[in-house]
Amino acid sequence: MTEVHRPPLTADERTQLTGWLDLQRSFVRMKCAGLSEEDAHRKVLPTSPLMTMAGLVAHLRWNEYAWFQLNLLGVPDTGQTSWTEGGHPDAEMFVDDVPLARLLDEYDAECARSNETIAPLSLDVVEQGPYAAKGEAASLRYVLCHMIEETARHVGHLDIIREIVDGRTGYERMEDPA
């Protein structure tokens, strides 16, 4: 079994929030460990063909970018993702030709950038992006809670898809069989 590092039971609010988010983020790579490219891109849900292991990793990377860079900081989108205004709402999940290792590395890098972005900010700071212009800006505290929920929900999807693909479940160490 892989040791799970939960946040300390009596930590301050920031440590709790970032600790729970980092814990959920760590499960993404764990759930993908040892998968073949074929399995990483296998479409197991006929009604949701974008719900692949690779597609979910790409979606999680997009969520990190969207919530912490575009929404929180208000950084203009420079085409860093495949999402486009007026395009398919899940365009970031079109990754059939992208290796899983690359997607995981991009996700890890985006998570690190998110952590660097929020480190100096108060939990009370509010979004500067498109929602601010509409008067619907959320606090960093809200964004962190949302990202814990979003990441955990998709880790559950990864868990189910992994079980369908090869029977692996739970928090087992999923090493490459080398």
143 is in which domain, residue-wise? 16-75+87-166
DSSP assignment string, 137-172:
PPBHHHHHHHHHHHHHHHHHHHHHHHHHHH---TT-
The encoded tokens of residue 13 equal: 């609010």
pLDDT in tens, 82-94: 555 567 778 888 8
Domain count, the chain: 1
Burial class (CB in 10 A: 0-12, 13-18, 19+), 111: buried
For residue 144, which of 165, 118, 178, 105 has the smallest C-alpha distance?
118
What does the pLDDT read at residue 175? 47
Q: CATH number, domain at 121? A: 1.20.120.450
Instruction: Assess if residue 175 is contained within a domain.
Output: no
Mean pLDDT of 120-142: 93
Contact 28, 156 (CB under 8 A): no
Of 47-61, 73-87, 143-157, 162-176, the least confident: 73-87
Is the predicted pLDDT of residue 36 greater than 60, yes or no?
yes
The verdict on residue 23 lying in a domain is yes
Q: Is residue 66 part of a domain?
A: yes
In this structure, are residues 80 and 65 in contact, taking their beta carbons and an 8 Å threshold? yes
The reply to whether 129 falls in a domain is yes
177 falls within a domain: no
pLDDT greater than 70 at residue 157: yes
Which pLDDT does position 14 carry in this prediction?
97
The strand pairing partners of 166, in sequence order, are none
Write out the DSSP string of 41-99: T----TT-TT-SHHHHHHHHHHHHIIIIIIIII-PPP-S-SS--TTS-TTGGG--TTS-
Q: What integer pLDDT is reported at residue 91 of this predicted model?
A: 80
Residue 112 lies in a domain: yes
Indicate whether 38 belongs to any domain.
Answer: yes
Residue 1: pLDDT band by 50, 70, 90 thresholds? very low
**Residue 121 domain-assigned?**
yes
3-state secondary structure of 123: coil
pLDDT of residue 177: 41
- What average pLDDT does the segment 140-166 reach? 97
